[in-house]
Homo-oligomer: A and B are copies of this chain.
Amino acid sequence: MDAAISQNELALAARNHGLPLEALRYPITPVGLHYLLIHYDIPDVDADAFSLRIDGRVAKPVTLSLPDLRERSDHEVTSTMECAGNGRALLAPHVVSQPWLLEAIGTGRWRGVRLKEILEDAELLDDAVEVVFTGLDRGLEKGVEQNYQRSLALDDALGDDVLLAYEMNGAPLLPQHGFPLRLLVPGWYGMTSVKWLTRIEVVAEPFPGYQMTAGYRFRRDEDDEGHPVTRIQPRSLMVPPGIPDFDTRARIVDAGPCPLQGRAWSGWAPITHVEVSTDGGDTWADAELEPLGSRWAWRGWRYEWNAGEPGEYVLCCRASDEAGNVQPDEPIWNVGGYSNNALQRVPVTVQ
């Protein structure tokens, strides 16, 4: 748990942004607090010159400007996004990459046009199997120079809430969130929602790009071909109660009633339970859930803890979804450090 972080990883941690966990209090994450994971650099995009090309295995390839997209019927989705690498820095042995603890999350109100309407208008050919999304951001990974690219199987791409988004929280996308246009695939880890989207290509074979075949695979060891990282595993996080110590982030809580609150989400199915433990996971009690809102947004919860006696406590929370997925006590180690949804543990000192 106390793995040392190298200067290279620190450079990643310093430029990518996490959600300070007290900001879990907001149902919609305020601008600037949503997590950011940017593989290369934020590109400098001229919105007036911007275009989106849709081609490949379609009968009617087309190039759309931003005004073309904005004059189409729009759709809004409130969606929780999480980085597939969230929890990576809590894995042992240490996995070298962006060193997230638990803060690579956020919830936005995304507005744009439905991808399925764009694809329907382009008329998919019979041999279409996947859709490849290309961003304007360019860099190297493990020696491979590339624009950021990810693909989706046709069924996933045609989902009702999959957006080509041009707005977040009621304003044009910020540069760091993909201005002027990004893909938004609710329920999937964030690597799927390609930012600075400039091309959509329909293909007849599974796309073998770096981010599909080398990155974002759940592999138990270097020899394991593994399986793709896709939807968000269930997770619950709490607002750490009390006040923090600056250097250690350790929490101090005054004895007495101490309401706990947090949020839970799963990309597989709606959240059905959140349980809370105040003794490090030995015993559990049900938290009270807020009513279900957007299918794709986190669900708020609350638990009335009475921090009666001074001493040391470890608070935990555990989410379950309607598909029967439950957060594990311990993570499953994997080469890329993906989808670690093990329980959050918040040590607190009651005084």
Contact = CB atoms under 8 A, between A and B. Distances in A.
A188 to B, nearest CB: 20
A141 interface: yes
B13 A42 contact: no
A245 B13 CA distance: 15
A11 B243 contact: no
A138 B141 CA distance: 42
A7 B14 contact: no
A30 B101 CA distance: 26
A73 interface: no
Nearest to A18: B14
Contact of A32 (B5, B103, B174): B174
A247 B6 CA distance: 11
A245 to B, nearest CB: 4
A3 B34 CA distance: 29
A99 B25 CA distance: 26
A6 B252 CA distance: 21
Contact of A40 (B5, B26, B246, B248): B246
Contacts of A15: 18-21, 103, 249
Interface residues of A, number: 61
B13 A2 contact: no
Contacts of A2: 6-7
A215 B145 CA distance: 45
A140 B25 CA distance: 22
7 contacts: A7-B89, A11-B248, A17-B32, A20-B176, A22-B44, A26-B175, A30-B176
Interface of A: 1-15, 17-23, 25-26, 30-34, 36, 38-42, 44, 89, 96-97, 99-101, 103, 138-142, 145, 174-176, 240, 243-249, 252
Question: Which 4 interchain pairs have the tightest Cβ spacing?
Answer: A32-B32, A4-B4, A5-B5, A13-B13
Given A40-B246, A141-B246, 15 more contacts: A4-B4, A7-B101, A8-B249, A11-B249, A13-B14, A15-B21, A20-B42, A20-B176, A22-B42, A31-B31, A41-B243, A41-B244, A138-B243, A139-B244, A140-B245
